[in-house]
Each structure stands twice: as structure tokens, then as C-alpha cells.
Structure 1
């Protein structure tokens, strides 16, 4: 069952790399269900989720980082018999996730809270999903975030992640009537960052995506299927 509350989990574990998140969670609190309305077709995300479900035994523990409303990923993984822990910084998104996937556990936390000594045990997960969550961080933080994810996985654990292909670093953009700051890589650079963080990239997929909302521009989405090296 879900955790039931929206409290921040644990004290901040900055390790010198946590940046300013001002306005990021508040923007997604305000966006709410409009996010799923703007992005109704998530073929790449569903395909990556299918890779995870096909690769894991029932009962395996999966971390859904940046879980949003819980759909489609937490719902998909839970329906496949996996034990899901969703993490998000937006209390509004988590409230929707708890309604959509009551079987899963959810924590309100910044990714910086998940470093050594955080609320989740090192090596406690068989896999992790990070769909468009790392793009919410400045580039300087992304290698540390990937390192934290790696530490949370057992040896050989799986990671499915996605980013929008773009050469951006903590850049403010208008998004569904709000302003968020996003980062992005060109695909070769993204692969280097992921492998340097201790992952083997076993497969890559890309999708040209046109959101349903005219307030969000078309984008190229990159999905990497990875294994902890």
C-alpha cells in the first residue's frame, strides 16, 4: 500500500551537488492531470516498461523515479506483479499516483535525498525507471544522480531511462502554462554520461513525439535500456 503522507523523507543529503529546485515541484503541482492530457501516447515509455517486466521475476523491486501520476509506468509494473516504489518531488503528482496505483509505495523526495544514507537501502532494488526525470536537473547534477541510482540497484540491476534529445542545461522553458527548467543531451553525449556512471547500455530506442498540446513543442525522445556494470 502507499505511504499515505506527503512528508519529505529524511534530511537533505546534498553532498555538494543539490541545486535550487525553486518552482519545479510547484509547477507540476499546478499542471496536475494536464500532463497526461498533453502526453496521451507514451509508446516509448510503455515499451521500456515491457522490457523491465519481461526481464524481471514477479515480486522484483523497482524504483520509479519521477513517477508523476503513476501512469503508465507504476501502473504497468504493478500489474505485472512487480513491487514498485515511486518517488517524486511534487506532492500534487504523488496524490494522483496514490489514487491511480494504491498497491505501490510512494515517497516525496528530491533525487538528492536518495544518495548514501537516504531513505532507501543501497542495493535494495532489482531495477529502476527514470522516464524524463533526469531532465529536470542541471547537467552538473545528472552524473551524481545516476550514481545514486546505481547504488540503489543490486549488481546487474536494470535501468530504463529516457531523455529528450536537446543541448540544454537548466534552461527555463514555458510548459503547459508554467515555467520549468530542463536539461538535455545529444544522444552520443547521453550514452557517455550513462556509461561513465557505471552502466552498460544494452539497447537504444528513439521516438519522434508530437504532444497533444500545442503549448508543448514536438520532441525527439531517447530511451536507453541499461544494466548496472
Structure 2
């Protein structure tokens, strides 16, 4: 059960308008994340041939969508920022990209692979749990889910609050592109439990810390990556 007293710490200042104003500056800061590149190269080894891949929070299209398209897969990308969608369309001309809130999106077909890479930081725990059920609904049997998030165990939790069940941490202070905000992050155990409940088996996990360049004015990001398969 969530700690209702933590609600005042759940505010996050980063939103679609912020990403619209940032545009290509985001790609300059985060487009050369070696750990993310390595994770995507590993993840595609689990994809079926010529897979239909849904990239949730596609951002600039680089490096995630562009790398996957280069491996011969069909990309469908969604993002709440028009600026990001415009950049994705330029980066991956073969893809189909749309401005839409992930919580309101429904694909027109079954998907082989769903990606949510560093795109859940504006959601509450309840919204993330809701999305885990949506991912399972969207995926074909045996479909692959790839998650990129941050590991709260590797962050400064001085002012943060754990939920009673220890599956989620709220109110984590974090600087992103010069803007202070608060994160809500599932713990590693929380991710495992939530995905099993939604009908997934976790295939493997990876950890890597990304140090953004100084000009990005961002805190280090201890990334936590998950590859899972739909089993029910």
C-alpha cells in the first residue's frame, strides 16, 4: 500500500512543454549513453525477425529507435512532445511516430516488442502499474518487453519515502537539464513483482551508471534495464 503522506513529494516539474522547449539539446546530452547503446544491442537479440516494435516515449529517435530500425525492425513511436516526435521522424524516416499520452494510447494491432526506455519518470506508482497491464494487453503471446528506468538503491534517498511494502520510493530529489524535481521509482523487487503480476517473466536485468556531460546540468543516472517476456 502506498504511503498517502508522501503525496506532497510526488511533484515532478518535467513535462511535455519542457521537452518541447529543449528539443535537440536532449539528444546532445543523452544521445551518447554507452550503457543504453549496449542494452539496445543486447535487447534486439531477443526480438523475432522483422518485429513490430512500439517505442513508448520515443524522444529524439536516437539511439533507441534508430538502432532498432537499422536491425530491420518496424518502429512505431509515441511521445507526448511534438518536438521529440518531429526529431524522431527525421532520425527514423521508415518509422511511424505520433504525439500521444502513453496512458491514452491503444495500438491498432498486436505488438511484438514494447519498449519503455527512460520514459516513466513522470508517472506515479499507480500509473506505472496500470501501464504494466496495458503492455501485456498490447503484446502478442511471447512478446518482449524492454524497460529502462533508474535504480533508487543507487540514489541519495535522504528526503525520500518508501511505500509500506518497500516496492516503490517517492520524493527522490533529482536534477535534470538544469531543473530540480522529484522522482517516483519502483525498487528492483517492485519491478519483479509487478511484472510477474502482469503476466511477464523477467529474462535478464542490467545496471549501468550514465554520467551526463557537465553542460547538461544533470545528476548522474544509475540506469536499471529489464528484459521480460509475456507468458500469459
Asked if these proteins are the same fold (TM beyond 0.5), I'd say yes
User: What is the alpha-carbon distance in structure 1 between the residues aligned to residue 192 and residue 96 of structure 2?
Assistant: 30
Distance 1:26 1:181 in 2: 17
1:121 is aligned to 2:121: no
C-alpha separation in 2, matches of 1:223 and 1:102: 27
Separation (CA, whole Å) in 1 of partners of 2:44 and 2:60: 20
Measure how far apart 1:48 and its partner are: 2.9
Q: Aligned ranges for residues 148-187 of structure 1 at < 5 Å?
A: 148-166=134-152, 168-169=169-170, 173-178=174-179, 182-187=183-188
Aligned residues: 206
Task: Mark the runs of 5 or more structure 2 residues left unpaired by the alignment.
Answer: 1-10, 153-167
Q: Report the alpha carbon displacement of residue 87 of structure 1 after superposing the two structures with TM.
A: 0.7
**Partners of 1:89 and 1:112 in 2: how far apart?**
10
Which residue among 83, 86, 94 is the counterpart of 1:95?
A: 86
Structure 1: stretches of 5+ with no match in the other structure: 1-19
Partner of 1:144: 130
Give the structure 1 partner of residue 194 of structure 2: 193
Per the TM alignment, residue 21 of structure 1 is displaced from its structure 2 partner at its CA by 9.3
Equivalent residues of 2:33, 2:210 under 8 A apart: no
Q: List 4+ stretches of structure 1 deviating above 3 A.
A: 20-23, 167-174, 177-182
Q: Determine which of 38, 41, 44 is the counterpart of 1:50.
A: 41
Q: Deviations over 1:1-48 (max 9, x none)?
A: xxxxxxxxxxxxxxxxxxx99861001111211212222432332233
2:72 alignment counterpart: 81
Question: What is the alpha-carbon distance in structure 2 between the residues aligned to residue 142 and residue 76 of structure 1?
Answer: 26
Q: Answer with 1 or 2: which has the greater Rg.
A: 2
In the alignment, which of 111, 115, 138 is matched to residue 102 of structure 2? 111
1:180: Cα distance to partner?
Answer: 5.5
| Aligned-partner Cα distance in 1 for 2:43–2:70 | 12
TM-score, with structure 1 as normaliser: 0.81
> Judging changes above 3 Å, is the alpha-carbon distance between structure 1 residues 195 and 213 closer, same or farther for their aligned structure 2 residues?
farther
Does the CA-based 8 Å contact 2:13-2:181 persist in structure 1? no
For 2:119, the equivalent position in structure 1 comes to 133
Shift of 1:49: 2.0
SS in 1 for 2:76: strand
- Separation in structure 1 between the aligned mates of residue 98 and residue 224 of structure 2, nearest angstrom: 26
Q: Which residue of 1 aligns with 2:17?
A: 26
Aligned to 1:219: 221
Aligned CA RMSD, in angstroms, stands at 2.4
**Which whole-Å deviations, capped at 9, do the CAs of 1:73-102 have from their partners, x for residues lacking one?**
110111111001011001111111111111
Which has a greater percent of helix?
Answer: 2
